[in-house]
Chain A
Amino acid sequence: MHIQPILVALRRHKAGTVLIALQIALTLAIVCNALFIIHERVAHISEPSGVDEADLFVIANQWGAQYSTQETVERIQQDIATLRQLPSVQEASAANSYPMRGVGWDNFITMQPDQRAPTSDAAYFTGDENFLRTLGVKLIAGRDFRPEEVQNMGLRQNVATPVAIITKAMADKLFPKGEALGKTFYAMTSTPITVIGIVDVLHRGDVSTWSAPYAGESMVVPIRLAVPSGLFYIVRAKSGQLAAAMREAPKALYAENRMRIIDPKDGLLSFAQVRHRAFERDRGMAILMGIICVVLLAITAAGIVGLTSFWVGQRRRQIGVRRALGATHRDILNYFMTENLLISLGGLAIGVLLAFGLNLWLVTRFTLAMLPLTYVLGGVVILLLLGQGAVFAPALRASRVPPIEATRPA
């Protein structure tokens, strides 16, 4: 295929050529950045929680009456016992928060009591000896809490615990040289906290961007929180009996003590719902970006079809002449396919620059990560295929122009 004659012909259609190339360039720039944003959000959405998601649900319990700390502790233990007695419930535990709650407690972590800049900002879970077992978190080193280690913490109280179980991610951050077990750190108190256990994965309560640098860094302290609100019962149903357990649990709790608030809207959530709610915004953004990509590609394709169709109509006579002089169907088809390829390549060359430029701007303005080259290459391939696909129908029509057209006026 000779490229020279195509280039000469294109020079006579500058406006159309430039428009298609420009459209392809902009589409590439936006599509590969949008795909990258989708990828980032989807990666965030599918982060592992580390818990047994299929069988878990959470009850946000608030007391309707004023209890002392000791009374509250008794009520909580009574509630947990009630929940455990249900035939569909495997295990239950009370805690201050749970993974992917959307918001959560976090404490600055330092290695020395007087250290100014914190080493980490860890998600802070309070739980008793059943917390890890209920969640189904995998303990990979050390031991779980003993019942006698668990302290009560009432409203307006601060309790400093000497021990904690931390995640592997947090252990790696605090003790990069390894062997975190038995070592100490500080969490905003002057009491050193000894690591007695390490769990594999336990997602933070918070899911927003600011906590991304501390992803997976969570700690559990042996505290039984005895407060009127802000308390969660984490319940693990027996395998396959989640729906039944979620029906029975609130009824059983209300039957035991009516002086409580379980919000009808979000007081009772299965873990699937928890995950769904936590990432609702990210999912929305990913879907929106997906729609934008599809519509953009469709519009670009339609533009190519329209313009090429016009060119084919305009050149019927020339095509007839070429056919009369011996060009085959395939020659004509190739001519238009190559022409589109050249325009696409030109547009994509500008588009690659635009894509990185746009990404640079997004990085500075919207804290997006750097665009990997694979996304640009992927975008280039998509747009090349799109261009060739869009041009195929008009090109095929061109190749069917009979040689007799040469003798007819345009």
Chain B
Amino acid sequence: MLSYYFHLAIRSLRHNKVLTGLMVLAIAVGIGASMTTLTVMHLLSGNPLPGKSDVLFYAQVDPNPNGAASRHQEPPDKLDYQSAIDLWSKHNADRQALVVESPVKLSAPDVKRPPSMGMLMSTTADFFTMFDVPFQYGGSWTGEDDARRSRVAVISSELNDRLYGGVNSVGRTLRLRNDDVRIVGVLKPWRPAPQFYDVAGGRFSQGQTADYYAKPEDAFTPFYTGLEVNDGHFEQFNCWDAPKVPGHLMGAGCEWIGLWVELDSKAKVTSYRSFLANYAAQQKALGRISYADNTRLRDLMDWLQFNQVVPSDVRLQAWLALSFLVICLCNTVGLLLVKFLRRSGEIGIRRALGASRRQIFAQCLIEASVIGVFGGAGGWLLTLVGLGLVRRQPVAYADLAHLDVSMFGLTFLLAVLVSAFAGTLPALRASRIAPALQLKTL
């Protein structure tokens, strides 16, 4: 029976090619637009560290010594040097990493290539284990290297390809500005989306957050090593007191360092919260800061949400595309209604010959679904075109835009659901056609 209905559907669709084409096109355009934007949304709003995101926390205190109370509902997004070092050196969490990013001039003494500008991540040894960073060659430096301010570095696979042609470069020398560091590790290609450990200041960005999806840094060094070799090139998140020497923020009244901690159990989270609160209270008692009750400990996903990492243009486009789909749906419902009711005579005869309402309904719905499958195929092609366009946009996340298996499946599911949904009302109407009336007019 189903194959007969299918046969009928193809026949009927071929009967009026323009109308069929219009419906397929409407569904394809609606699906293409929605799936392009939904795929981008899906890629940008995903969990950058699934399985681990709920044990990673971002610590904040409000180190401001003065300032109007009304402007301090939230602590600043980064820590000043003093607080960052105090909190980190207590080692009260399972793992902890200080993070600060800065632009740096990169070259290799034994490679004949002009120097280039790149990004340097100054962090502590736990960074790589905390964030599940994959290594291609070598490995992380140790906590001892952190303390000794060893001149060592871990480099990205991209930098390794660029400088050393992708071979094992562990043990070779990299020049950061004017200082040489020894390479101890080379990463595998690593592209978390967003680059979560650097995210900060989203609430001030007015939705222009595309740069959170930039690639990870080119080089990673122990925290103090980075501070020394790249001194004078650090950028503050905010300052309550302008630094005396620009770019040199140690001891200045500036917030510029992030602190991530890993806490494996609820109890540890609670105790770390009170550790933060106690620290702030103690610092207030010492007269260094003025807001002791303004501390936060957000987990990774909360921190991303707080920063509204998905750019507003992307969200706007997703909403627009969905409303676009609704309009396409209206259109298809109208056209299907036309198509089915135009065949009232034929349906009347089938009813008179014994077809039940249910059978008519099924027949119409199958016809609608066939349109859905074709629309889905068209929509899939349009989605590929759309994502191709996204890849050509001048945005940091451009290279991320691709259709994964789940979104590919969703495309067809959405297409068939949309057309079946669009077909329901017209099919119901068609199945209610009174046979007698139709036969009379024949």
Residues of A within 8 A of B (CB): 15-16, 19-20, 22-23, 26-27, 29-30, 34, 62, 64, 66, 116-117, 155-158, 188-189, 208-210, 229, 261, 263, 277, 280-281, 284-285, 288-289, 292, 295-296, 299-300, 302-303, 306-307, 309-310, 313-314, 362, 365-367, 409-410
Contacts and interface: CB of A to CB of B under 8 A. Distances in A.
A313 B205 CA distance: 57
B206 A19 contact: no
20 contacts: A15-B337, A15-B425, A30-B320, A116-B68, A155-B232, A158-B242, A158-B246, A188-B242, A208-B208, A263-B117, A281-B210, A281-B395, A284-B393, A284-B394, A296-B324, A299-B29, A303-B334, A306-B338, A307-B334, A409-B442
A20 B330 CA distance: 8
A156 B246 contact: yes
B435 to A, nearest CB: 16
Contacts of B68: 116-117
A32 to B, nearest CB: 13
B441 A410 contact: yes
B134 to A, nearest CB: 29
Interface in B276-315: 312-313, 315
Given A16-B334, A64-B114, 8 more contacts: A16-B338, A26-B326, A26-B330, A30-B327, A156-B247, A158-B245, A281-B210, A314-B341
Contact of B337 (A16, A285, A296): A16
Contacts of B67: 116
A261 B117 CA distance: 9
B340 to A, nearest CB: 10
B252 to A, nearest CB: 11
A208 B206 contact: yes
Interface of A is mostly: helix
B394 to A, nearest CB: 5
Nearest to A285: B313
A296 B327 contact: yes
B334 A209 contact: no
A94 B182 CA distance: 37
A277 B337 CA distance: 49
Contacts of B178: 66
A19 B337 contact: yes
Contacts, number: 131
Nearest to B242: A188
B91 interface: no
Given A261-B115, A280-B394, A300 B206 contact: no
Contact of B316 (A281, A299, A309, A366): A366
Nearest to B22: A302
B42 interface: no
A158 B252 CA distance: 14
Contact of A310 (B115, B342, B441): B342
Contact of B335 (A280, A281, A306, A314): A306
Most chain-A Cβ atoms within 10 A of its Cβ — which of B26, B29, B330? B330
Nearest to B103: A229
A23 B327 CA distance: 6
Contacts of B313: 281, 285
Nearest to A63: B105
Contacts of A306: 19, 22, 334-335, 338
A138 to B, nearest CB: 31
Interface in B214-262: 232, 242-248
A263 B19 CA distance: 55
Interface string B108-119: 000000111100
B4 interface: no
